Amino acid sequence: MRITKHPVLDVRDGKKVPFTFDGETLMGYEGEMVSSALFANGIRSFSIHTVGDAPQGIFCANGQCAQCTVIINGQPVKSCITPLREGMKVKTLVHYPTLPEDDEWRPSFLPRELSCQVLIIGGGPSGLTASLELADLGFSVILVDDKDRLGGKLVLQTHKFFGSMADCYAGTRGTDIGHILEEEVRKHEKITILANSTVAGIYSDGKAGIYEDQARYTHVSFEALIVATGARERSLIFPGNDLPGVYGAGAFQTLVNRDLVKSSERVLIVGCGNVGLIGAYHALQAGISVVGIIDIAPQISGYKVHADKIKRMGVPIYLNHTIVGVTGDGKVERATIAQVDEHWNPLVETAKTFAVDTVLIAVGLTSADEFYTAGQEANFPVLKTGDAQEIAEASSAMMGGRIVGRQMAQILGREIDIPAEWLEKAEVLKSLPGESFVRNHTLPKEDGWEPILHCYQEIPCNPCTTVCTYDSIQLKGKLGTIMDLPHFEGRCIGCAKCVLICPGLAITLVRKTTEPGWAEVILPHEFDHGYKAGNELVLRDCDGNSIGTGTVTATRFNKKHRTHLITMTVPEALAKDVVGILVQDASVVAPLEEAELHHLPDNAIVCRCERISLGEIREFVRENQVKDLNQLKLPRVAMGACGGKTCLDLLPRVLVQLGVPRQEIRPSSLRPLAVEIPMKAIANQGGEIS
C-alpha cells in the first residue's frame, strides 16, 4: 500500500515495473528496494526458518541483519539493499538456499583502481560534513555509501531539527538538510562519491575492496580512513519478538518516509526516547494509527517537547510499562503490555492487549564501528565520527564530522587548529535533556499578538530566537548556552515566524478579541486537513488533555516551512493553555476487552538468525556454568548470518539475570568482519543481479 498524500513529503512518481513474488505478478517502482516493493504489495513474510518453519520479516531495513533475505533470480540476497529491476523473479527463502545450476565459464577482470588521501565510509550527516571539511582543506576524498542517495538517517527525518541554526540547520527538516549537504558534496571537485556501493573489506596494505554500484569490484588505495557508518538498532527479548511486524523504528521510517510505503495500519511503539517519539509523529503524518508508546523507565528519555507534541495529538504514553508479548498467526496481530513493579517485573493484573499489526522497537542504538576496529588492527590512521563514535542527535553528528575532519587533517600533517568554540558547541549539541521548569503564561495586556512559549525543558535549540524580526525572543537561564529556555520580551507584530520554525510545535500566538471573554490563537499544524472557518475543534494542552473547543476563523499554509497555521477563536480563559488540536480519536487507542497472557517469556527469541530462545540459553547456561559468551556458540548463538550483531548485545543481560556477575562475563570473540557480496563481483564478471 502506497502513501498517496503526505503533509510534508512529495508523493513519489516514478517508473512502475512488473516483477514476480512466488509466481504472482506484482508492480513496484524501478530502483526502490525490493523489500519496500514487497511491503507496498502487502507482503510481510520474506523467508521460512528451518526451526519450526517460522516466518521471518524485516528488522533493520538497513542491510545490517539478514531478516529480509529472499531469493532473487536464483540467488539469496538482502531485499532491503537490493534495487528492484523489471522482470525480477523474487521467491520466499525456504530454509537454506541452494546454489543455482550453472556451469557456464565466465571471464574475470582486474578491479578498477582508485586512490585518495582520505576514504570516508558512510554518507550520513557526519560523513558529509567530514568530507566537506577535508575537501575544503585541499585533501582528496572518496566517500562511499551503500544507499543510492546521500544523507543517511537525514533522508528519513521529515521533522524540523533542534540545535543551532548557525551550525546545524536547526529549524530545517532533516530531509532538506540531507539535500543541502548532498548538493554541497556533489559539486566539490575534491570529493569522489561512490553511492549505492558497499565496502566489502579494509586491508592492511591500505586498500579497501568496494562493491561499486552493485556491479563491479573496485580497489581504493588510501592514506587514512574515517568511519561514519552510523549505528544499528537494538533488539528486545519478549515472546513473539520474531514475528513479521516486529521491527525497528528506523526501518519503519525507511519504509514510510524514504519509500512512501504505508507499512502499517496500527502500531505500538516500545521506547520513549527521541526515536520512538519521532516515529510516532511520522506514523500519524502517514495516516497510521498509534495505539501508544511504552517504556519501562519511570520518565521520558526523549525531549519533552517531542513527548508533549505526541500526547496532544492523541497518543498515550505508558511509563513504567513493559511489553509482555506479541501474538498472531504468522504475523503481528495483538500486543500485550503491563505495568512493572519496582523490580521491573510485570504486574499481570494491569495487562492490556491492543489490536495492532506492527510493534516498533525503539530501545536504543549500537554503534556500527567494525571498520574502525579493522583500521586500528591494520595500523593506519583511522578515526570514527557520528553514531559510529557516540550515539547522539544528527545535529551533533554534523558538528562532530567537521571536528573529526580537522583532526584527520592534523594527523596527516596539516597545521590547522580546531576552534575551541567548535568543541564547546559539540558538547552542547549532544547534551541529554536538562532540567524542566514550570512557567506561568499570561495573555497580552494590550491589543496585539504575543507568542506563548510552551518550552519547559533545557534542550539544545535556538531557532525561535534567531528568526524574530525584533530580537524579542531571547534565551535566558543559568547555563549561558542554547540549552537555556527562550523568553519573550518586547515587540511582536504577529508574523508567526517563531511559530513556523519551532521544531517542537511549542509556540502559539495569542491576542484578545474585541469581544469580551474571547481570544484568538494561532496554532502550528503539520497534517493535511479540511478545516474551514466555522469548524469547531477539540483543543489540547501541553499534557495532552482536552480542555474545550474552539472555532476556526482562518487557515493558511506556509510553503517554505510546509506548516499550516490555524487561527481559532477560543474562550479567553483557555487561550494561554491551548497548544494543539486533537489528531487521533480516543477510540483508536482503546485496548481489547480482555488481555492475552498465555505466552511464557522462555519463548522469546534471542538469536534471531538461528532462532535460539531465551529458554534454551537459560538451560545451557545453567548446565554448563557459562561465563564466557563464546561458550554459547556451541548451541549456535551468534553463529547466524548477521554475525551476532543483534544477539551479542542482549546476551550479557541474560547472564546477569541468571546470576552471573557482570564483571565475570567474558565477551565473545567477534567473527571476522565481512560484508556479503556476490562472488562474481570479486571476479568482476560484470552486471547486476540478472
Whether 287 is covered by a domain: the verdict is yes
Which residue, of 326, 361, 396, is where some domain finishes? 361
Give mean pLDDT, residues 383-408: 95
- Is residue 367 within 8 Å of residue 390, measured between CB atoms? yes
* 577 and 457 part of one domain: yes
pLDDT at 689 over 50: no
Residues 342 and 387 in one domain: no
User: Taking residues 330-335, what's their average pLDDT?
Assistant: 96
Whether residues 203 and 260 fall in one domain? no
* Minimum mean pLDDT range among 83-87, 126-130, 678-682: 678-682
The answer on 286 and 263 residing in a single domain is: yes
Q: How far apart are CA 595 and CA 598, in angstroms?
A: 9
Contact yes or no for 114/206 (Cβ under 8 A): no
495-523 mean pLDDT? 96
- Answer whether residue 678 shows pLDDT above 80: no
Query: pLDDT category, 690, cuts 50, 70, 90?
Result: very low
Domain housing 310: 16-96+235-361
Round to whole Å and give the CA distance between 444 and 666: 64
Query: What confidence tens digit (pLDDT) does each residue in 115-143 have?
Result: 999 999 999 999 999 999 999 999 999 99
pLDDT value of residue 598? 64
Higher-pLDDT residue of 467, 686? 467
Among 361, 382, 409, the domain boundary falls at 361
- Mean pLDDT of the 663-684 span: 80
pLDDT at 599: 59
The answer to whether residues 583 and 454 belong to one domain is yes
Q: Mean pLDDT, to the nearest integer, of 371-379?
A: 92
Does 626 score more than 70 pLDDT?
A: yes
Helix (H, G, I), strand (E, B), or coil: what is residue 60? coil
pLDDT at 85 exceeding the cut of 90: yes
Residue 672 reports pLDDT greater than 80? no
> pLDDT tens, 18-39?
999 999 999 999 999 999 999 9
pLDDT surpassing 90 at residue 412 = yes
Report CA 182 to chain centroid distance, whole Å.
19
pLDDT at residue number 679: 76
123 touches 150 (CB < 8 A): yes
Q: Would you state the cell numbers that stand for residue 372, as one nine-digit string?
A: 574502525
Mean pLDDT across the stretch 77-90? 93
Contact 292, 307 (CB under 8 A): no
Global pTM reads 0.92
Asked if residue 124 is part of any domain, the answer here is yes
- Domain shared by 134 and 159, yes or no: yes
Amino acid occupying residue 603: N
CATH number assigned to the domain comprising residue 149: 3.50.50.60
Residue 508 falls inside a structural domain: yes
Let me know whether 660 and 634 are in one domain: yes
Give the integer Cα–Cα distance in Å for 377 and 352.
Answer: 50
Question: What beta strand segments (E) does 513-585 contain?
Answer: 518-525, 536-540, 546-558, 563-571, 580-581
The reply to whether 239 and 223 lie within a common domain is no
In a domain, 654, yes or no: yes
Res. 464: pLDDT tops 90 = yes
Q: What is the per-residue pLDDT for 658?
A: 86
User: Which residues contact residue 297 at a Cβ distance below 8 angstroms, ignoring those fewer than 6 apart?
Assistant: 272, 319, 320
Query: For 377-405, what is the mean pLDDT?
Result: 94
pLDDT (tens digit, 9 = 90+) per residue, 2-16?
999 999 999 877 899
What is the residue-wise DSSP string for 195-206? TT-EEEEEETTT
Q: How far apart are CA 23 and CA 253, in angstroms?
A: 29
Across the range 220-237, mean pLDDT stands at: 94
Q: What is the pLDDT, as a whole number, of residue 206?
A: 92
Is the pLDDT at 462 greater than 60? The verdict is yes
Q: What is the pLDDT of residues 33-71, one digit of tens each?
A: 999 999 999 999 999 999 999 999 999 998 888 899 999
CA distance 384 to 398: 13
Residue 687 has pLDDT above 70, yes or no: no
Q: Are 151 and 128 in contact (CB under 8 A)?
A: yes
Residue 678, in any domain of the structure: no
Is the residue at 669 inside a domain? Answer: no
Whether residue 11 lies inside any domain: the answer is no
Q: Going along 161-311, which residue ranges are E strands?
A: 191-194, 198-203, 207-212, 216-221, 224-227, 231-233, 246-248, 266-270, 289-295
What is the pLDDT averaged over residues 676-682?
A: 77
Q: Are residues 122 and 251 in the same domain?
A: no
Nine-digit cell string for 223: 592514506
Kindly report each contact of residues 584-590 with a partner whose C-beta sits within 8 Å and lies 24 or more positions away, as own/partner. 584/284, 584/289, 584/290, 584/313, 584/314, 584/315, 585/314, 586/314, 588/266, 588/289, 588/291, 588/314, 589/289, 589/290, 589/291, 589/292, 589/314, 589/315, 589/316
Look over the chain and give the mean of its residue pLDDT values, rounded to a whole number.
Answer: 93
Q: Provide the residue count of the chain.
A: 690
Domain count, the chain: 4
Are 127 and 226 in a shared domain? Answer: yes
Closest C-alpha among 73, 363, 374, 31 to residue 199: 374
Q: What element of type H or E holds 133? A: helix 125-136
Contacts of 413 (CB under 8 A, 6+ apart): none
Burial state string for 476-498 with b = 16 or more CB within 10 A and e = fewer than 16: eeeeebbbbbbebeeebeeebbb
What pLDDT score was predicted for residue 64? 85
Give the pLDDT band of residue 216 (cuts 50, 70, 90).
confident
Contact criterion met (CB below 8 Å) for 609 and 66:
yes
Domain boundary among the residues 533, 561, 589 is at: 589
Lowest mean pLDDT among 99-113, 148-162, 241-255, 657-671: 99-113
Return the residue matching grid coordinates 516466518.
55
pLDDT band at 106 (very low <50, low <70, confident <90, very high): confident
**pLDDT score of 343:** 87
Single-letter amino acid, residue 549: T
* Domain identity same for 494 and 544: yes
Residue 674 reports pLDDT greater than 70:
no
Q: Residues near 39 by Cβ (< 8 Å), separated by ≥ 6? A: 58, 255, 261, 263
Cβ count within 10 A of residue 4: 10
Of the candidates 546, 540, 591, which has an alpha carbon nearest to the alpha carbon of residue 339?
Answer: 591
Distance CA 534, CA 554 (A): 9
Query: What distance in Å separates the CA atoms of residue 546 and residue 327, rounded to the nearest whole number?
Result: 33
Greater pLDDT, 586 or 486 = 486
Residue 498 has pLDDT above 50, yes or no: yes
CB 267 within 8 A of CB 326: no
Q: Is residue 437 part of a domain?
A: no
* Residue listed under C-alpha cell 530545517: 172
> Cα separation of 513 and 358, whole Å?
46
pLDDT at 688: 42
List the one residue out of 115, 140, 134 whose CA is nearest residue 210: 115
- Which cell numbers in the block locate residue 416? 590547522
**Confidence band of 418 (pLDDT split at 50, 70, 90):** very high
Q: What is the pLDDT of residue 66?
A: 86
Q: Based on the domain organization, do 582 and 488 belong to the same domain?
A: yes
